[in-house]
């Protein structure tokens, strides 16, 4: 019996030792797991802090670019997290555009954020047609986003399929449904047209002919590599002073920028096709009143002129004005051609059946002379992030 009891006691002791060892191992495992979780939580917290610092750096770059478009970055103590720093690398990415990389460091964690930043556009560029005062619609059918700072009147049959915004207290007598009209309490200041700035943009001065006291430009093309009145311009930017004379453009092709100073009035007549070669520049600036008669195609064969420089005389161009068009006086649009972009004037009259289209390029490419002060915008879809080394 004693031998059996001894063996039984020994089995119990072994079992107890096994249970104790298992419990110790489990305890050690629990301590290891808890320590790993603590380390992970600590690392995650540091990474989150670095993310905040990196984002703070990008906001700092936006603010500094709003003060100086030439800001290039550097190492900065975070104004919001004094115990952290971010390093900014800001490089030009075009006209009024920059690519910024912000690397934030917090403790032993780093995180990088980069994005394309652009100068904020003038809010007028959010409209197809902007009038500093009134808009008059005369026997017209159109769809677009119009903005006035005063009364909107109508004459004849008006079919409007867009949206209209004007100031509270203004009257709208045109045939526009109430649901298409928005009244806002404050007027929107018109952009100051950048005539002087465009003269200093290395624009080429031209000297078009004067016929019977009127500047007459007919049957010609303006492109970066072609100027019928002198030397060419790499950006297709041309400027002339009308000397307070009237200006008439007939059958004219513009793949560039045309600035007309001191004009009594400017008429764009039959067969005109204007687009901007450089999306960072306006297409047409007029110091004076502007009448646009969008009618008749522009045919190379009729003029015996290779307008677009592709080596043939078979191209046909529909009447079109595309880009930013600004006039310091009144703007009158007549006809059935295409208007794409933003048209800015002191007052606006639209007659006929023009096709109005919005230009998405304004959202990604600022136009020189048509930006406002303030922090630069983050270009949609360009933010990229990742942990640092």
Tens digit of each residue's pLDDT (9 = 90 or more) over 319-352: 999 999 999 999 999 999 999 999 999 999 999 9
Residue whose pair of structure tokens reads 């045919």 in the numeric block? 299
Q: What is the pLDDT of residue 21?
A: 47
Residue 168 has pLDDT above 70, yes or no: yes
pTM of the model: 0.86
Please determine, for residue 39, whether its predicted confidence score (pLDDT) is greater than 90.
no
Q: Is the pLDDT of residue 267 over 80?
A: yes
Confidence of residue 386 (pLDDT cuts 50, 70, 90): confident
In this model, does residue 29 exceed pLDDT 70? no
Residue 81 confidence (pLDDT)? 78
pLDDT of residue 389: 47
Rg (CA), the chain: 33
For residue 317, the Cα-to-chain-centroid distance in whole angstroms is 27
More confident residue, 22 or 104: 104
DSSP 60-118: HHHHHHHH-TT--EEEEE-SS-TT-EEEEEEEE-STTEEEEEEEEEETTEEEEEEEEEE
In the chain, the N- to C-terminal Cα span, in Å, equals 72
The pLDDT of residue 32 is 44
Going from N- to C-terminal start, the domains of the chain cover 2-120+374-387, 123-363
**Longest CA span, the chain:** 140
Report pLDDT for 270: 86
Residues 114-138 have a mean pLDDT of 96
């Amino acid at each position: 019996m004693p031998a059996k009891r001894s063996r039984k006691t020994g089995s119990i002791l072994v079992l107890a030792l096994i249970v104790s060892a298992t419990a110790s191992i489990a305890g050690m495992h629990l301590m290891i797991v808890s320590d790993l979780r603590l380390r992970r939580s600590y690392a995650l917290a540091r990474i989150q802090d670095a993310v905040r610092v990196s984002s703070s750096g990008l906001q700092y770059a936006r603010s500094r670019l709003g003060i100086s478009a030439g800001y290039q970055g550097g190492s900065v103590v975070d104004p919001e997290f004094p115990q952290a720093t971010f390093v900014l690398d800001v490089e030009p990415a075009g006209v009024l555009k920059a690519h910024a990389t912000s690397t934030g460091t917090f403790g032993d964690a780093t995180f990088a954020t980069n994005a394309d930043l652009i100068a904020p556009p003038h809010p007028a560029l959010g409209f197809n047609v902007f009038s500093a005062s009134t808009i008059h619609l005369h026997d017209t059918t159109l769809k677009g986003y119009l903005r006035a700072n005063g009364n909107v009147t109508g004459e004849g049959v008006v079919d409007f399929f867009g949206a209209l915004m004007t100031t509270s207290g203004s009257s709208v007598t045109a045939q526009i449904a109430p649901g298409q009209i928005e009244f806002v309490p404050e007027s929107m200041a018109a952009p100051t047209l950048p005539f002087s700035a465009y003269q200093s943009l290395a624009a080429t001065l031209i000297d078009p002919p004067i016929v019977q006291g009127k500047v007459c430009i007919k049957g010609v093309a303006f492109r970066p590599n072609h100027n019928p009145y002198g030397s060419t311009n790499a950006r297709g930017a041309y400027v002339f002073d009308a000397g307070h004379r009237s200006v008439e453009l007939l059958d004219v092709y513009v793949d560039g920028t045309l600035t007309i100073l001191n004009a009594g009035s400017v008429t764009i007549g039959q067969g005109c096709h204007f687009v901007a070669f450089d999306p960072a520049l306006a297409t047409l600036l007029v110091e004076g009143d502007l009448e646009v008669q969008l009618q008749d195609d522009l045919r190379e064969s009729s003029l015996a002129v290779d307008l677009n420089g592709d080596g043939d005389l078979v191209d046909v161009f529909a009447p079109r004005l595309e880009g930013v068009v600004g006039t310091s006086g009144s703007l009158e649009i007549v006809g059935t051609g295409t208007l794409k972009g933003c048209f800015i004037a002191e007052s606006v009259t639209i007659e006929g059946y023009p096709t109005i289209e919005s230009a998405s390029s304004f959202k990604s490419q600022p136009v020189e002379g048509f930006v406002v002060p303030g922090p630069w915008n983050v270009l949609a879809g360009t933010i990229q992030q990742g942990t640092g080394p």
